[in-house]
Amino acid sequence: MATKQLKPTTPGQRHRIAPVFDEVTTDKPVKSLTKGLSKSGGRNRHGRMTMRRRGGGHKRKYRVIDFKRDKRDIPAKVQTIEYDPNRTARIALLAYADGEKRYIIAPNKLSVGDTVISTETGQPDVGNAMAMKSMPAGTFIHNIELQPGKGGQLCRSAGTVAQMVAKSDKYVTVKLPSGEVRMILGTCFATIGATSNPDHFNTTIGKAGRSRWLGRRPKVRGVVMNPVDHPMGGGEGKASGGHPRSPWGQSAKGKKTRNRKKLSSKYIVRRRKTKKA
């Protein structure tokens, strides 16, 4: 996957860096693996806005993705590589030997015609899903489970990859893209390789309207609001706004908010990298 610089025929095209869809082989998803997707607009069931800057956007169909990879020891052939509007990575359509079809997150460098399998022990080839205790140390992985059988939760967006750095009797040690090193049960499954579309982070939107197509509404800085609207608002001229805070007074931009008594803290070997003040 690559990107392209467009000719500046309009102001919105001038700074746009667009993705290239060379790896995508079809533009029509499998109907049995899609369903309707309703938008919340950032509102909860009471109709109150609980997430700001959401709303609008193009209509989408949801592609049902197999994050669990629980169809064990049955080989599957990659039929198509497809675009998914609901995620940054590409998705791959697998056709299993017994006739069933499923979508998975496409690993980088997986192509049509390749064969993948989900198994407890096997060859650590790109696209194969395996129990992490069966992988050699140093393997690059994505779509990582945190609880056996729950399905992959980590490293699912475009271009992300983790590395399994060590193994013990019960746990494996994984280095995540954030720099955090944590222990995960060795019976949890993960997929070999990095996720597809690694150049996603090199793209540039180009204009505000394209953000609206994606369902993102404008962002207004707190310092330009009035005091009634934001703790950092008000003041004469360009006031700095004081300490960075959310509209509800919570400290932001650097203050640690993680619960010290969180049970999963004991599995974290090393915290993620943080910006030095």
User: Mean pLDDT of all residues in the chain?
Assistant: 94
Residue (of 106, 141, 136, 138) closest to 121 by Cα position:
136
CA distance linking residue 192 with residue 34, whole number of Å: 26
240 and 185 in one domain?
no
pLDDT of residue 121: 85
Residue (of 214, 180, 190, 219) closest to 88 by Cα position:
214
In a domain, 140, yes or no: yes
Partners of 116 in the β-ladder: 76
CA distance linking residue 109 with residue 179, whole number of Å: 24
Partners of 78 in the β-ladder: 94
In a domain, 190, yes or no: yes
Query: Where residue 122 falls among pLDDT bands split at 50, 70, 90?
Result: confident
238 and 176 in one domain?
no
Partners of 115 in the β-ladder: 77
CA distance linking residue 77 with residue 169, whole number of Å: 33
* Domain CATH for 248: 4.10.950.10
pLDDT of residue 277: 44
In a domain, 35, yes or no: yes
Cβ atoms of 112 and 78 closer than 8 Å: yes
In a domain, 218, yes or no: no
In a domain, 217, yes or no: no
196 and 272 in one domain?
no
184 and 241 in one domain?
no
Geometric angle at alpha carbon 198, from 12 and 156, rounded to 5°: 110
The secondary structure element, H or E, covering residue 19 is strand 17-19
CA distance linking residue 50 with residue 42, whole number of Å: 6
Q: Which amino acid is at 80?
A: T
- Give the side-chain half-sphere CA count within 13 A for 9: 3
pLDDT of residue 241: 80
236 and 142 in one domain?
no
Beta strands in 97-206 (DSSP E): 101-105, 115-116, 118-119, 129-131, 140-142, 144-145, 152-154, 162-167, 171-175, 181-185, 189-192
Higher pLDDT, 16 or 252: 16
User: In the listed set 169, 201, 233, which residue is the last one of a domain according to the structure?
Assistant: 201
Structural domain including 106 reads 3-201
pLDDT of residue 43: 97
In a domain, 134, yes or no: yes
How many structural domains is the chain composed of?
2
Instruction: Please tell me what DSSP assigns to residue 26.
Output: B
267 and 179 in one domain?
no
Token pair belonging to 246? 């959310």
194 and 129 in one domain?
yes
171 and 126 in one domain?
yes
189 and 91 in one domain?
yes
* Domain CATH for 9: 2.40.50.140
In a domain, 219, yes or no: no
Q: What is the pLDDT of residues 203-226, one digit of tens each?
A: 999 999 999 999 999 999 999 999
11: left (phi over 0), alpha (psi -120 to 50) or beta: alpha
Q: What is the pLDDT of residues 68-89, one digit of tens each?
A: 999 999 999 999 999 999 999 9
Instruction: Please tell me what DSSP assigns to residue 106.
Output: P
In a domain, 132, yes or no: yes
| Residue 111 in this model has a pLDDT that exceeds 90 | yes
- Pairing outcome for strands 76-82 and 115-116: antiparallel
- CA dihedral for 225, 229, 235, 240, sign (positive or negative): negative
Query: Where residue 273 falls among pLDDT bands split at 50, 70, 90?
Result: confident
169 and 100 in one domain?
yes
| Residue 1 in this model has a pLDDT that exceeds 80 | no
pTM (two decimals): 0.91
238 and 144 in one domain?
no
Q: What is the pLDDT of residues 136-181, one digit of tens each?
A: 999 999 999 999 999 999 999 999 999 999 999 999 999 999 999 9
141 and 25 in one domain?
yes
pLDDT of residue 162: 97
Full DSSP string of 71-84: -TT--EEEEEEE--
Residue (of 72, 92, 124, 125) closest to 25 by Cα position:
92
